[in-house]
Amino acid sequence: MTAASVPNAAPALLPADTSIDWNRITRFGGLLALGLVFISLAGMPLGLNQRTVIEPVLSLGYLALMWLPFLAGYNVGNEIVLEGMEATKKGPRDLLGGLIVGAIGGVGLSILVLLIDNFDLRDPLVNWSPQLLEFLNFENGVGFGSWIWIPFCGLLGLAGASLQLMSQTMRRAVMTVILAVIVLSVFEFLIIDIVDPLKKVLYAQQGGLKWGAAIVVAILAAAFSLFGREPISQVRSNYNDATGPEKSRQTAVLIGLSVLALIVIPMFTGKITQELLANVGIFLLLALGLNIVVGLAGILDLGYVAFFAVGGYTTAVLTSSNRGEDWPSWFPSEIHWVLALIATVIMAGIVGLIIGAPVIRMRGDYLAIVTLGFGEIIRLLFLSDWLNGYFNGAQGITNIPPADFGIFEIKGTDPRSVFYLVLFFAAISIYVSWRLERSRLGRAWMAIREDESVAEAMGINTVNVKLMAFVVGAVLASFSGAIFATKVGSIFPTSFLILVSIIILVVVIVGGMGNIVGVIVGAFVLIGVLGGPKQPGLLQEFSEYKLLIYGALLIWMMLKRPEGLVPNARRSRELHQDEFLQDAWLKGEVDDAVPDSGDVDGTVAPA
Amino acid sequence: MFPLTSAVQVKGSRRTTVDWFLVLIRVVLISLIVVGILAFIAQQIDPENAFAKWRNPGANRLTAAQFKGLVVTGLSQGAMYGLIALGYSMVYGVLGFINFAHGEVFMLGAFTGFVTSNKLAEAGLWEGAAFLPSVIMTAILAALIATGAAVLMERVAYRPLRGSPRLIPLITSIGVSFFIQNAVILLFGPGAKSYPSNPEWLQQKRSILTFEVEGTKILVLIVAAISMAGLWFFVERTKTGKAMRAVAEDKEIASLMGINVDRTIVTTFAVGGAMAGIAGILWGLLFRSVIATTGFLPGIKAFTAAVVGGVGNLGGAMAGGVSLGTAEATAPLVLLEPLGVDGVSQLRDAVAFTLLILVLLIKPTGLFGERLSSEDRA
């Protein structure tokens, strides 16, 4: 896949190498062992053990360890098949590889068991505890625990590797089964909340899928994967192939249905689900704004939380009865939420200009750090004694009243109303982003993202256009801030840590930079399942580990799939330009001299 | 009137509204600084002075001892910023991206120091004559761990991304930073970890050139100076250092000259990591407390220091660190208080960020000039 391997690929159709790659196996095994030990010492197995996936055989704690050998076993047999090369035939070689990799990983855990049993390192390492030892021993004593992980992980690695031997359909079926069981168990709470009778059918008293139900779900998922895929892909290709008015009619139906679902679902769910949806919505609004700045215009704004804070604080100052005492008496106070929102939007636009103007000429990476600095400065100012008379410092502004619309009220104790408000603004934001993307301004943003100098040579006023991105992003974030202030009813500087910026960035990147659908998916998956910076998600047990997972996700996405889960076609072409060109060259579609990527260092383009 | 700040202007386009706004920002910031310093001088001459009273009715003269104390604090912190900044500067010089996770390397060094020093203190080796060898051992260990972390992150996260658009490795490094920070929280617990107390003789104040300096700060300054000298020797006088400079200049040509580019880049990360690890130990000795988020702010500030001194310029990084530390320590009392700002010590971090913005607005190449490869000069 990398440019460096191209010269080797040029003499096409090399005979497949059939020997066992011991180097690769030991490397994978060592990494696996390290990973397993790290997960154990980070406390994930113990912390997650309370939650059952399948009653009574599998808890989330053991699952936290088991997925890793499985994945390693699968990946050790993975290979990158270059254009013009032949894939090696999968066989017992891969099974053996997976088995050995898993077993090496298991050795890591065995050593850990023996170490915990013999040494006390609890002083620096908080999870070096007898409880962890018990957990790793399957509560069967050290004699059992010291060897059981080796065959266990080996078998998991073998199972992972056996996926390599299966046909595409089979592999997909197995994946669907695993995913269905896990999703059903993770979403237990949500599903019960929506369809209460399912509780008795699917789930055990103390939580977790009943094992019988798990088998039924597995069979259904397998059946769906084997027989249900055809009609669905049919529908999908129908949609993709449709053109003109037919396509826009289908799109309209699709959007209408999803909006209807989002309006109807909260009516039947409990408060916690509504709260969850409201949180997802607030972060979705932020992510949509950042998507314009980062995804469309390619400006990496790490201080995006500043606009969220400005939105929240402006609304709070204008509506609260408990703002600081130093405000002059003529300054409007306790005004209606809608008026405050207008003021908030104007304020956010101004702050966007003020922050944007000095940074807009800087190199992309300097800009990132400087905006990060601005985000931190704004929080420090809200927190400082200096402006204490205006913003109440660390005590924050409390007593923010509900937004009163006559017939209905938006208040934090009624998360459903907040959700509807968020939905309204999300609809506006989505519409705005969608129209902007296809406007002259949107095309200018994308041109700048791809190459600023060329964009400027084409007559785009890069400074103004980039400032516009800042302002639009700021305004969208201020919506979110205004809603957030009203929802929580009070506002503190600690709600606006840099952390928030980074989590929104992860949402945008995981979803797919520059793609509205991707951002929506990202917000629902990440904020909904893992939770926001302080807001719990569906997996409440994960709250301790979610930031770690966000970090790991960010690295993994950047390395493996920088275009995100739901990629934007143009963006993904930009990111993989080298590979597209290479493939084209290897297929002989392009002239010899073309793969001149220009920026690949240390690689000589093949002549 | 003002130096040209970007390639855009060099191309000869006319000044836009944004430019005038930027000029305005510069004028406002510089006049604020000038007024603040003038008010400070007025207050030093006579606290009853009308000019000193103008913004700050409670103006009080700062004694010489207070002022010297601020400078020494600033210098010792600045020395640490400088040590961390070297890593940013070298990596930016060679690879052209900001290794956002470098602050975490520093934090890992400080954490290694916490574990080692406490184990040594339990064995009674953190006092008396055993103290110095113990500190040296701890520093070497911290440098090793930090080096290992830096090399590992290069191998895992950055090497596969070489040649991708500039922002991609930056985003990855944000992820790495986030990951390391939270991994440390999970492994060691979220609370603040304290170093054992330093021996008496180190805490004593000593008089150097009329400055009353705490022994710990002297130690920090000496260690920083030795590390800097060692690094200078390594980069300017050894073959590996020469290779590093060549790779920073032009990777392609360097590889044609028979230099192993990959290995040189790893060396760069390793050396930067070692410096950050030593800075971590110094931080621990000076503040005697470390938490998982320790790396974040010093990291950003060290990057600021690298920019102030000119990215890619090693002497500049150290000078930038020292000037940033001094500015940060003195500005709240010298600049902000005379301007009538309350609670100035809370705004120290804001001072550092403002300095970064100011330098990038007025002299983006830093005080001592950038040293970047041709492709990174933008």
Res A127: pLDDT: 86
Beta strands in A290-442 (DSSP E): 403-404, 409-410
Per-residue pLDDT tens for A123-180?
A: 888 888 888 888 888 888 888 888 888 999 999 999 988 888 888 888 888 888 888 8
d(CA A562, CA A584): 21
Q: H or E stretch including B371?
A: none
Q: H or E stretch including A209?
A: strand A209-210
- Contact state of B181 with A550 under an 8 Å Cβ cutoff: no
d(CA B81, CA B93): 18
Answer yes or no: is pLDDT of A551 > 70. Answer: yes
Res B374: pLDDT: 59
Q: At B97, list the tokens.
A: 């991206």
Res B104: pLDDT: 94
Res B239: pLDDT: 92
Distance from CA of A306 to the nearest CA of B (A): 14
A161 phi, psi to nearest 5 deg: -65, -35
Greatest distance between any 2 Cα atoms in chain B: 70
- Break chain A into its structural domains and give their ranges: 3-165, 255-497
- Break chain B into its structural domains and give their ranges: 73-334
Res A83: pLDDT: 64
Indicate the range of A393-397, A464-468, B18-22 predicted with least confidence: B18-22
Answer yes or no: is pLDDT of B284 > 50. Answer: yes
Q: What average pLDDT does the structure give for chain A? A: 83
Say yes or no: A509 contacts chain B, CB-CB below 8 A.
Answer: yes
Per-residue pLDDT tens for A508-529?
A: 999 888 888 899 999 988 998 8
| CA proximity to B270, closest of B108, B87, B94 | B87
Contact B296, B343 (CB under 8 A): no
For residue A403, the cross-strand partners are A410
Per-residue pLDDT tens for B333-370?
A: 877 777 777 767 777 888 888 888 888 888 878 888 77
pLDDT band for B270, please (50, 70, 90 cuts): very high
Residues contacting A587, CB < 8 A, separation 6+: A83, A84
Distance from CA of B174 to the nearest CA of A (A): 8
By DSSP bridging, strand B193-194 and strand B289-290 are antiparallel
Res B5: pLDDT: 44
Answer yes or no: is pLDDT of A578 > 60. Answer: yes
- Contact state of B22 with A43 under an 8 Å Cβ cutoff: no
Which of A1, A41, A361 has the most B C-beta neighbours within 10 Å, making it the best mutation to test the interface with B?
A361
Residues in A touching B338 (Cβ below 8 Å): none
Indicate the range of A406-420, A590-604, B26-40, B43-57 predicted with least confidence: A590-604
Helices marked H in chain B — which ranges?
Answer: 7-10, 17-45, 50-55, 64-95, 102-122, 131-153, 167-188, 200-203, 215-237, 239-249, 251-256, 261-287, 296-309, 314-331, 348-362
pLDDT, mean of residues A46-66: 83
The DSSP string of A467-510 is HHHHHHHHHHHHHHHHHHHHHHSSB-GGGG-HHHHHHHHHHHHH
pLDDT, mean of residues A489-504: 91
Answer yes or no: is pLDDT of A422 > 80. Answer: yes
Chain-centre distance for alpha carbon A146: 37
Residues contacting B81, CB < 8 A, separation 6+: B298, B301, B302, B305, B320, B321, B322, B324, B325
Res B378: pLDDT: 46
Task: Please name the member of B161, B181, B186 whose beta carbon is closest to the beta carbon of A545.
Answer: B186
Res A75: pLDDT: 85
Res B3: pLDDT: 42
Give the whole-number percent of chain A exceeding pLDDT 90.
Answer: 23
Contact A603, A4 (CB under 8 A): yes
CB < 8 Å & 24+ apart, contacts of A130-134: A131/A46, A132/A40, A132/A41, A132/A43, A132/A45, A132/A46
The DSSP string of A222-250 is HHIIIIIHHHHHHHHHHHHH--HHHHHHH
Answer yes or no: is pLDDT of A540 > 70. Answer: yes
**Residue predicted with more confidence, A368 or B9:** A368
Res A596: pLDDT: 45
Res B13: pLDDT: 54
Distance from CA of B183 to the nearest CA of A (A): 6
Res A600: pLDDT: 42
Q: At A537, list the tokens.
A: 């998600």
Q: At A419, list the tokens.
A: 């959700």
Say yes or no: B252 contacts chain A, CB-CB below 8 A.
Answer: yes
Q: At A583, list the tokens.
A: 């493939």
Per-residue pLDDT tens for B215-260?
A: 888 888 999 999 999 999 998 899 999 999 898 888 888 999 999 9
Task: Please name the member of B160, B174, B186 whose beta carbon is closest to the beta carbon of A502.
Answer: B174
Chain-centre distance for alpha carbon A150: 33
Res A481: pLDDT: 93
- Which residue type is seen at A351? V
d(CA A580, CA A600): 14
- Contact state of A42 with B5 under an 8 Å Cβ cutoff: no
Res A604: pLDDT: 39
Q: Chain A to chain B, count of Cβ pairs less than 8 Å apart? A: 189
Per-residue pLDDT tens for B43-97?
A: 777 777 777 777 777 667 777 788 888 888 899 999 999 999 998 898 888 888 8
**Residue predicted with more confidence, A99 or B59:** A99
Greatest distance between any 2 Cα atoms in chain A: 84
Say yes or no: B141 contacts chain A, CB-CB below 8 A.
Answer: no
- Contact state of B186 with A548 under an 8 Å Cβ cutoff: yes
* DSSP structure class, residue A303: T
**Burial bucket for residue A583 (CB in 10 Å: 0-12, 13-18, 19+):** middle
- CA R_g for chain A: 27
Answer yes or no: is pLDDT of A82 > 60. Answer: yes
Res A305: pLDDT: 94
Res A429: pLDDT: 92
- Contact state of B161 with A300 under an 8 Å Cβ cutoff: no
Q: What average pLDDT does the structure give for chain B? A: 84
The DSSP string of B195-224 is PPPPPHHHHSEEEETTEEEEHHHHHHHHHH
The DSSP string of A501-553 is HHHHHHHHHHH-TT-HHHHHHHIIIIIIIIB-SSSB-S-GGGGGTHHHHHHHH
- Contact state of A463 with B18 under an 8 Å Cβ cutoff: yes
Residue A603, classed as helix, strand or coil, is: coil
Give the whole-number percent of chain B exceeding pLDDT 70.
Answer: 93
pLDDT band for B15, please (50, 70, 90 cuts): low
Res B302: pLDDT: 92
Which of A5, A449, A554 has the most B C-beta neighbours within 10 Å, making it the best mutation to test the interface with B?
A554
Global ipTM: 0.86
| CA proximity to B318, closest of B332, B308, B330 | B308
Answer yes or no: is pLDDT of A30 > 80. Answer: yes
Res A552: pLDDT: 92
Say yes or no: B349 contacts chain A, CB-CB below 8 A.
Answer: yes
Distance from CA of A420 to the nearest CA of B (A): 33
| CA proximity to A208, closest of A196, A195, A216, A199 | A199
Q: At B47, list the tokens.
A: 């606290």
Res A599: pLDDT: 44
Token pair 């017939």 in the structure block, residue: A407
Distance from CA of A137 to the nearest CA of B (A): 21
Task: Please name the member of B21, B174, B251 whose beta carbon is closest to the beta carbon of A554.
Answer: B174
Calculated CA dihedral for residues B299, B302, B304, B307, nearest 10 degrees: -130
Give the whole-number percent of chain A exceeding pLDDT 70.
Answer: 92
- Contact state of A381 with B378 under an 8 Å Cβ cutoff: no
Contact B305, B320 (CB under 8 A): yes
Residues contacting A162, CB < 8 A, separation 6+: A95, A98
Answer yes or no: is pLDDT of A3 > 60. Answer: no
**Residue predicted with more confidence, A211 or A550:** A550
Tell me the CATH architecture of domain B73-334: Orthogonal Bundle (1.10)
Say yes or no: B183 contacts chain A, CB-CB below 8 A.
Answer: yes
